[in-house]
Structure formats: C-alpha cells, structure tokens
Amino acid sequence: MKIKNLIPDNTADTGEDHFSTNAETPLRSDAFEKSDDEKILIIQEHVLGILETLGMDLMDDSIKGTPLRVAKMYVKENFGGLHPDKKPKASTFKNSYKYGEMLVEKNITLYSTCEHHLLPIVGKAHVAYVSNGSVVGLSKMNRIVDYYAKRPQVQERLTLQIVQELQKVLGTPDVACVIDAKHLCVNSRGISDISSSTVTSEYGGVFQTEDKKREFLDYIKLDTDFNE
C-alpha cells in the first residue's frame, strides 16, 4: 500500500532551522471555530492512530486511556496559550511612588513545547521594564510568560512575544527579556547533548544602551536563593 506524504520531502530537513516571518504564532483563520471538546475528540483519534501504528496494545490498562489524556493535555494545558480568551488580563496602575529604576522579575519558570518535534522546552525567563508612568502587577509578568509559552514555539519568537506584549501593556518600549532554556529535541534526541541550553534575548528602548543592558544582566546574576 502506497502511503501519501502530506508534507514536502525537504521540510523535515529544515525543521531545526528557526525560520519565522514575524513574531506572530502561525495560526489559520479558522483556528478557533471548533470548541475545545471537539478538538479533544479529534486529537484523541489521531493519538490512538499513532499508538496503533506503532503496534501498541490499546486494550492494556496502562495505555488505553492515553489518547484521551494526551488530547486533554494538548488542548487544556500544553497548548492552552493558543486561545486568545486565555490571554491574561494585565491591568496597569499609576506609578504613584515615582519609582524610576528598572524592575526585574527573574527566574520565571518556563515550560513550552518545541514546534519542530513537539518536545518540551524547560527553562527560566528574566523580564525587566522601566516605567514611564504605569506599572503592572508582578504576577502578571509571570502569567504573560506562561501564556505565550503554552503553545508550539521557537524560543526566539517566544522572547519577542513576551517583550512586545509588555510594551503594549505598559505603553513603553523600555522592556527586556532573556530566556535560558533546555530543548529536549536537542537534549534527548538527535545530537543528544544533555548539557547544552539555549539563550535568547530582546532589548527594547533604553535597554539597547550598553549601561542599561549591563545593569539588567547584572541583576540576573544576583544570588537570590532564599531557601538556605
């Protein structure tokens, strides 16, 4: 039986090159026409087909619930950040105390998924901004990172999306982000280099000056482990 190849022959070869035309996640115009429940049913059938093709016994108690578990995880958790309704409400407040230095939220735990192999990206994001009159709740910075991470991603795009969203929320270009993360598509397959990590950065406004950039990077290096 001839199996039809649904993608061009050279696509898999270029999959690890991080091409992108802009900072937007590539979504079709009909991406949200189906409900979450409809998507779960469809994905469940696809996962079942994958496991059956691999030769797994779907009657085994350990694996028979896997298609539904994976489908729910994809729609509700790992890729929940695709849906605009789940975008965090990032309310701003007047900077009434006139704090004029940078504010840094460091070591934000980040879980994402590589869009090339659908394997985990795990790391830390460090975000900073200088207020031009508005401030945002600290937890909202974490929520913005999590929202854009919870989708098929490349790290470069994720870094840009975090910065651009905070620039929009705060009404200032003075936002920066550095992400240091491990990609399991590198660590657990292919070259299988378990020690390497990937660092990306985006500096907006005043953070493009060497002084502010260096100040931000020095904050990131500060020892803030309070568990001892």
Catalytic residues: 114-117, 155, 183, 185
Cβ contact 193:184 at 8 Å: no
**Among 174, 139, 146, 186, CA closest to 162:** 146
CA 32 vs CA 26, 39, 82, 100, 217: distances in Å: 13, 10, 9, 41, 39
Question: Alpha-carbon distance 144 to 162, whole Å?
Answer: 7
- What type of residue sits at position 103? L
The H-assigned helical ranges of the chain are: 11-14, 36-53, 66-72, 138-149, 155-170, 184-187, 210-221
Cβ contact 102:222 at 8 Å: no
Q: Which long-range contacts (CB under 8 A, 24 or more apart) does 224-228 make?
A: 224/106, 224/107
**Among 173, 159, 164, CA closest to 202:** 159
**In what order do the strands lie in the sheet containing 175-183?**
152-153, 102-114, 120-130, 175-183, 198-203
Question: Alpha-carbon distance 227 to 224, whole Å?
Answer: 9
